[in-house]
Amino acid sequence: MRNLSAGKRLAVASYAAPHEGKIFGTIEIDATEALRYLESRPGVSMTHLVVRAAALSVRDKVPDLNRMVRRGQLYERPTIDIFVSVALRRGREVAGFKIERVDTKSVDEIAQEIKDTALGMRRGDQAGVVRTQKVLEAVPAPLLRPLLQVLRFLVMDLGVSLTPLGLPDDPFGSMLVTEIGSFGLQVGYPALLPLSNASCIVAIGRVTDKAVVRDGQVVARPILPLSATFDHRVAGAYEAGALVRAAQELLEHPERLDA
């Protein structure tokens, strides 16, 4: 583990799980080139671009976001993994899954993996998801919260592996990405799941035309709003800003996502 600054040590020691220390932020990105890029890539969506851009931004610009809090200290994750949420039952239910080593996968590979896994979840043939749902349904409501707290303590705080019981290590990965635009939302700040131990969650809003100034002229441009909630124990203003700037650069020049 790297040497921590006094401010970072204070943040880790002061904040409890993410229900206390959070940073919120929104950025509006000119989606002109991203939409043009998507026209030439059947089967690829804005979500796939954002997932790829986030992974590359963490790897190349702000690797400190690929850390987790464990036993009051910050530890580096060995890989960059991103948890993606998908809508089930016509949007009435949301579930998700982790994509591992996202920074090593192309946009097309990410799109195919999300499509295949989401289809399997909707069909109910994802064994891990089905098993988890059955366990949650079987636990009495008064016991569910204590159970989740125990699981979080064992898996995330102590690093105990419960894979033999069907619970993967670090099940949510480095960050979470959720698409809220299909629900008609432009901006939203999803709550950080205490069980996840992820550094942030990114919400992809609905693209809408807005008036912007370009070369001194007011013109209409398609604008993509991205909102994020950061765990302040891991991310400060510097890390949040670095992630936003790097992701914006990639999404406004999407051909760089293929590099």
* Element containing residue 30 per DSSP (H, E): strand 22-30
**Mean per-residue pLDDT, 109-128:** 79
Mean pLDDT of the chain: 84
Would the pLDDT of 52 be above 60? yes
Topology adopted by domain 6-252:
Chloramphenicol Acetyltransferase (3.30.559)
Candidate from 5-9, 160-164, 178-182, 236-240 with smallest mean pLDDT: 5-9
CB 62 within 8 A of CB 56: no
Would the pLDDT of 5 be above 50? yes
Number of neighbours of residue 244 by Cβ within 10 angstroms: 19
- Band the pLDDT of 129: cuts 50, 70, 90: low
CB 24 within 8 A of CB 229: yes
Q: Which of 55, 71, 72 is nearest to 63 (CA)?
A: 55
pTM: 0.83
**Mean per-residue pLDDT, 27-42:** 95
**Mean per-residue pLDDT, 233-255:** 94
The residue count of the chain comes to 259
Q: Report residue 38: phi and psi, to 5°.
A: -65, -30
Would the pLDDT of 7 be above 60? no
- Band the pLDDT of 1: cuts 50, 70, 90: very low
* Element containing residue 74 per DSSP (H, E): strand 73-76
Tokens 């089930």 — which residue? Answer: 88
Under DSSP, the state recorded for 70 is: E
Would you kindly state where each structural domain of the chain is located, as residue ranges? 6-252
Number of neighbours of residue 22 by Cβ within 10 angstroms: 17
Side-chain-side CA neighbours of 203 within 13 Å: the count stands at 22
Under DSSP, the state recorded for 41 is: S
Residue 238: predicted pLDDT: 92
